Amino acid sequence: MASKRTPHGPEQHHKLIVDSTFIANPEPYDSDRRKMYYHSKSPTNYARKIQIACDFHHRIVHVSECYQGSVHDITVLRDSGLLAHVNDSVQIIVDKGYIGEDYVINPRKKPHGRELSDEDKNFNRDINSTRAAIENINQRLKTYAIIGGVYRGEIDDFEKTTKIVQVVAALCNMNLDKHPIR
């Protein structure tokens, strides 16, 4: 393969796009559980979190274990084991929720009191354009009612939720052949 350059490195590198999504929970009864499952972006404000990774062909290649909604995205990435595979030929592209990890490519933050340079703005545009694929995949996963609606299963059964998301991810990959994203 020719060594064609993209804005975030040589095309010959294997690139994964990673993002976390949530599955809404009903409101827990006790206050300790409310704190553990709190997730401000969820319609019910309580959720469980799962991390999805896809390749540039829009195939889901990794589904993390399920976590409580209050767990930070970078913690899920570190626990997933994906960072162990990062090297010169593998790159992980993420959003600003993963700032703080050395081995990932994320958008550049605006310096305090200053504007981003044109080069940084172009870099962010390219990264965000690339990241649109994982957002589309997350939206496809949520077309399945068990993930897109309020989860009605046992609130503490993370293993079952992980298996459900893995099955739905496999269905999405099969559906991708008939209905490609781009």
| Residue pLDDT, tens place only, 76-127 | 999 998 888 777 677 899 998 888 887 789 899 888 989 999 999 999 999 9
Handedness of CA 56, 58, 63, 64 (dihedral sign): positive
| Residue pLDDT, tens place only, 88-102 | 677 899 998 888 887
List alpha helices for the chain, DSSP H. Answer: 31-37, 73-80, 118-141, 145-148, 158-178
